[in-house]
Amino acid sequence: MVLLLTKGAFMRKLVAIEFLSVDGVMQGLGSYDEDREGGFEHGGWGAPYAEAIHATVGSSGADDTSAYLFGRKTYEKMAAFWPHQPDTNPIAASMNAAEKFVVTTTRDQFEWDNSRRIAGDVVDGVRAMKADGEGIVAMLGSGVLARSLLAEGVIDSLRLFIHPLLLGSGKRLFGDLGRPCDLTLTNCESTPLGSVILTYDITAGLSE
């Protein structure tokens, strides 16, 4: 699911797109064995809500996406699936054609077309990527990377898909940022199954 925002005028805008439970868990969204680290037993919890979300918001905004950003683990999961999907799927068409940037220290060879590594300092590399082009850079999942970039004030917007359940355990998106982060709600939608889609701009960055 790729859902994006308004196209920037002079540089890319980094949008973190995350699927969460009400208590903030993001681990193992799609399938039981997707991520069982820490003994997580609730994998696949997001699947019952996927069709209702797609019917509500579709794949709107994909034309504004000029690049995708991933941590290594999320990239490898995406690379095992999306290159094998037909271009009649608008999400596959967007992801397969766009630039894909990967934050990793363990690999520099990528089979998925148009993939490249962000080497060196991650924050500097992401800022340089944002400055090189227009449109949206969509960051999907990649919780560790998302938290670090949020703490550095590099993320411009959050798109949160919050599903109506409490999981009680698992990896959570938000942790200690060190300072408050100011958000402005720019859009709110809901689905018939009770999922809520919230879009926030980080208009003031991290407050002092």
Q: Which domains does the chain have, with CATH numbers?
A: 13-201 (3.40.430.10)
Q: Residue 63's pLDDT is what?
A: 62
pLDDT band per the 50, 70, 90 thresholds, residue 8: very low
Q: Residue 203's pLDDT is what?
A: 75
Burial of 65 (0-12, 13-18, 19+ CB in 10 A): buried
Q: Cα 8 from chain centroid? A: 18
pLDDT at 183 over 60: yes
pLDDT band per the 50, 70, 90 thresholds, residue 4: very low
CA distances to 83, 115, 185 from 27, in Å: 23, 24, 25
pTM of the entire predicted model: 0.86
pLDDT band per the 50, 70, 90 thresholds, residue 187: very high
pLDDT at 13 over 70: yes
In this structure, what DSSP letter does residue 199 have?
E
Q: Cα 101 from chain centroid? A: 13
